[in-house]
Chains A and B, each alone.
Chain A
């Protein structure tokens, strides 16, 4: 946890006012003060093991992610960061152990499906659809019935004003990433965000916007599970109160023998 202090001189810190005022690096408690009718459940990983092919990527993973927390998933390439995110999202089943949303498993869980925003490494954009159409489609599919003004505002928030009608095929990698992340700007209720390398391909301004979105999300009681390898210091700076889960510290093969 030496990250947050060692980067105090980094220029990106000028965006710090966006972060919740009452979060500190030491408390993992929700920054939310607004009373929500039904508080966001905790994500609980109980003795989770993950197998990919015939390799056991990790085992014995116990972790709890409460409302308002940000958990930064770290680990070398091939340690199973993306696999863990997919397990949490319910796209795959763990080799062993349980992944619970509150008290119910995340897989085939209607409530969880409504409270999850999973943004994978792939942007899920269609080359032939415009930025507006892509975002509106993803929002509608996930039950976020956003009107045209909300879609436009979300795209503008991500710096895509003026590119609403550009087909995704003519957008650069960074801009495509921004369209995918614009889903986050549509969110208004506490939810669990599961983000696979969200800072990938983003420039300085995009990174700052994402930090602001993350901070606002946590301030209203949302929780975040993300991976990031190359901008980890920026993550630390903007997300005081984050916790680190390092997959490199987990037993890799012990579980296979047990």
Chain B
């Protein structure tokens, strides 16, 4: 992997996001708004809210991550940058990894920070908040990596946004189960560590598998 390309692309994506700060905040705004709809929808019963809180936070984080996926490669594809990036020496993996890392920093990390806040809003007990935080800390990079594969596969297609969601959501089910399950386990008086360990294992598998798959999909897309 070409480290210089990784760093250049990562820093450029951060800079671009900084130039369009409001746009970068939209997924977080969606996350907060969507999750705060649940008390209105299912009623303000604290017991019910407490029960569904981890799942609600996780599902909303999942959807927020997917919504921010379509422009990940589409913008670079449209203006010719992607071709240039892929022509650089040994660049495919570096581009895929840098894009996923950039997406996580811009869209994933704010979700992690916002999640405990939403947990409080939904009445989650304070001992479950750190678990929710850690589960999202491990889980959101998985979403960025899987989303990158989806974004690369649907590059240049119309209605790519919907297709990304349809491709990635089934793949993200294990992360959702273990992520939301971690907080639920604490609620049931059990340890959260098995869930978090499995989530960590999933993250490692995605770190190893997703960038090569993304790079291959990108090469096909520019051909």
Contact = CB atoms under 8 A, between A and B. Distances in A.
Interface of A: 89-93, 110, 113-114, 116, 118, 120-126, 128-129, 133, 137-138, 140-143
B83 A141 contact: no
Contacts of B223: 91-93
Nearest to A116: B87
A128 B16 contact: yes
Contact size range, B = 20 to 34
Contact of A120 (B5, B8, B80): B80
Given A113-B87, A126-B16, A129-B15, A141 B5 contact: yes
**Majority SS at the chain A contact face:** loop
B15 A90 contact: no
A120 B86 CA distance: 13
Interface of B: 4-5, 8-9, 12, 15-16, 19-20, 79-81, 83-91, 222-223
A5 to B, nearest CB: 37
Contacts, number: 70
Contacts of B84: 118, 120, 124, 138, 141-142
A89 B88 contact: no
B12 A124 contact: no
A114 B90 CA distance: 10
A165 B80 CA distance: 21
17 contacts: A91-B87, A92-B223, A118-B87, A120-B80, A122-B80, A123-B79, A124-B80, A124-B83, A126-B81, A128-B16, A128-B19, A129-B16, A138-B84, A141-B5, A141-B9, A141-B91, A142-B84
Shortest Cβ-Cβ A-B pairs, 10 listed: A122-B80, A128-B19, A124-B80, A113-B89, A140-B8, A124-B84, A124-B81, A92-B223, A141-B88, A141-B8
Given A93-B223, A128-B16, A133-B15, A123 B89 contact: no
A126 B79 contact: yes
Contacts of B222: 91
Nearest to B88: A141
B80 A113 contact: no
A113 B83 contact: no
B83 A143 contact: no
Contacts of B80: 120-124
Given A90-B87, A91-B87, A143-B4, A137 B79 contact: no
Contact of A143 (B15, B19, B20, B89): B89
B90 A141 contact: no
